[in-house]
Amino acid sequence: MPANNQNNLNNGISVDCVIFGFDFEKLQILLIEREPGKKDNPLDYALPGDLIYNDENLDQAANRVLKELTGLENIYLEQSAAFGSLDRTQRESDRAWLESVRDQPDLRVITISYYSLVNINAFDPKPSSFASKLVWKPVAEIEDLAFDHFDILNQALDNLRNRLKIRPIGFNLLPEKFTLSQLHKLYEAILGRELDKRNFRRKMAKLDLVVRLDEKQQGVPHKPSNFYKFNTENYQKLIEEGYDNFGF
Amino acid sequence: MPANNQNNLNNGISVDCVIFGFDFEKLQILLIEREPGKKDNPLDYALPGDLIYNDENLDQAANRVLKELTGLENIYLEQSAAFGSLDRTQRESDRAWLESVRDQPDLRVITISYYSLVNINAFDPKPSSFASKLVWKPVAEIEDLAFDHFDILNQALDNLRNRLKIRPIGFNLLPEKFTLSQLHKLYEAILGRELDKRNFRRKMAKLDLVVRLDEKQQGVPHKPSNFYKFNTENYQKLIEEGYDNFGF
DNA sequence: AATCTTTGTGTCATTTTAACACTTTGCTAA
DNA sequence: TTAGCAAAGTGTTAAAATGACACAAAGATT
């Protein structure tokens, strides 16, 4: 055994997933609603996440945990950051919860966060395991989360925004067919600021990342908008050329 | 104890530091030269890094390890990524080394990497502990490293380049007084491509990030160049305004 | 005095960005 | 049927940023 207890290697490693979704209005995030503790605490939300196994690597763990807790599979997942503050599991409400689900609630746990972008309408979140209840929450309305998950969320959002300047990953949040207005609103939702409609469309057109389909919206009480799809080939071409100015 | 051995929590966590330095010519990186093993292996280099303690957080660990192994203290350190492949410690030459320095050489270890930028002339690397010998190596000449450290290096370089578009962190690599040519070469070294001299200077001037000093180079066999220093106040101002286009 | 090396500087053409308003389409309600 | 409503869709102009490009000036060396 090690000589000093500072180095007794009794560490846990977890992954936490920040799952962004878009409902054509606001940027949302998928959270686990935890049972309120003994006290009449307000409702309490946490990111989907869990300890990793010893025989899987980090990406595998993130995919597994996500599947186990939400049913999501084969989705875009990007590593975000590592969090390892000593006090990250020391809040009272969190400790009670840990005691109910962990063999070693006192274990010091370092977490690796991932973020993901999904089409909010394309899947049916299936709570399981200790994720008793899954809910989508608008990111902008979240003020706190369990553990240090609020920090993790903000970090992920920051990474997402930076990434969006370099890669057009936002398309992951949309269904296969979408309108330019939806795409426009998506960028505004992620970036948290307004973008001029004409300038947005001009740049999108120049990038040549979308293809106009011969199909329109139906049943809307106004001029129906045209559907588009993502142009994978052109995207690949741009990336191979080293192009990386996808920002607004 | 846990029910299944997949989840026995027997994990180690380490930090590895990618220390970039600049000698006014090439981008360099600080490496530990390991004793060749029993075989007549070629020389072998690794990133400074070690297991973290249970009573310190990640940033503390990175700072401590860096100080212990190199003598470097109070320097810019940015978290880069987490690496946790199952086979990252399975190379033969690495295992021999682990057996000589670790209590539990078989421990599965996940590492959090940090990168740092230092002025290569401003400190005297002091090898200690098991870092028997420290050397600077030009990044461009490195073809492989111990463990998965080559991957870690490339990831850090990628992060550094992305970061440089958003924040003028390159100044950390220079002494307090520097010439515009040195700054220019630094950007070229980090980005790995040539930049037009006049365009570079024009943009630097517009950003107003450097202040001209009333002092020139001496003893150079050509027109001496003027010294400048970094303008911290203007930098703060730009950041507060939300400006983030520092790229070239 | 001539030579050498690196510093330091300006212009022009092109591209990118920002600001800005009205017509069109299809549905809805009177 | 028609008037009104709501969102879609579209172009111009000015300002800023970028990219390409060449030569004179300074100081050291011979």
Cβ distance of A57 and B104 shorter than 8 Å: no
Cβ distance of B13 and A110 shorter than 8 Å: yes
Cross-chain CB nearest to A86 (options B6, B55, B108): B55
Report yes or no: B243 at the A interface, CB cutoff 8 Å.
no
Chain B residues within an 8 Å CB radius of A56: 86
Strand order in the sheet with A226-230: A178-179, A226-230, A210-216
For A21-30, b where at least 16 C-beta lie within 10 A, e where not — what string?
bbebebbbbb
3-state secondary structure of B2: coil
For B12-49, b where at least 16 C-beta lie within 10 A, e where not — what string?
bbbbbbbbbbbebebbbbbbbbbeeeeeeeeebbbbbb
pLDDT at A9 over 60: no
User: What pLDDT was estimated at residue A39?
Assistant: 58
Tell me the per-residue pLDDT of A93-103, one tens digit each, with 9 for 90 and over: 899 889 988 88
Phi-psi region of A82 (alpha: psi -120 to 50; beta: other; left: phi over 0): beta
CATH superfamily, with its number, for domain B10-166: Nucleoside Triphosphate Pyrophosphohydrolase (3.90.79.10)
Which of the four CATH numbers 3.40.190.10, 2.60.120.580, 1.10.10.10, 3.20.20.70 does domain A174-240 have? 1.10.10.10
pLDDT at A73 over 70: yes
User: What pLDDT was estimated at residue A168?
Assistant: 97
User: What pLDDT was estimated at residue B179?
Assistant: 98
Domain A5-166: top CATH class: alpha beta
Spatial separation of the C-alpha atoms in residues B74 and B116, rounded to whole Å: 11
- What is the secondary structure of chain A as a DSSP string? --SSGGG---EEEEEEEEEEEE-SSSEEEEEEEEPP-SS-PPPEEE-SEEEPPTTS-HHHHHHHHHHHHH---S--EEEEEEE--TTTT-SHHHHHHHHHH-S-TT-EEEEEEEEEEEETTS------TT---EEEEEGGG----STTHHHHHHHHHHHHHHHHHHS-GGGGGS-SSEEHHHHHHHHHHHHTS---HHHHHHHHHHHT-EEEEEEE--S-SSPPPEEEEE-HHHHHHHHHTT------
- Domain boundaries along the sequence of chain A: 5-166, 174-240
What's the whole-number mean pLDDT along residues A32-58? 83
Angle ∠(B30,B217,B231) on CA atoms, nearest 5? 70
Q: Give yes or no for CB of B165 within 7 Å of strand D.
A: no
Model confidence at B39, in pLDDT bands (50, 70, 90)? low
- For chain A, give the percent of residues with pLDDT over 70: 91
Cβ distance of A54 and B8 shorter than 8 Å: yes
Cβ distance of A13 and B52 shorter than 8 Å: no
Q: How far is A222 from chain B (nearest CA, A)?
A: 38
Cross-chain CB nearest to A54 (options B10, B13, B166): B10
Among residues A132, A2, A16, the alpha carbon closest in space to that of A83 is found at: A16
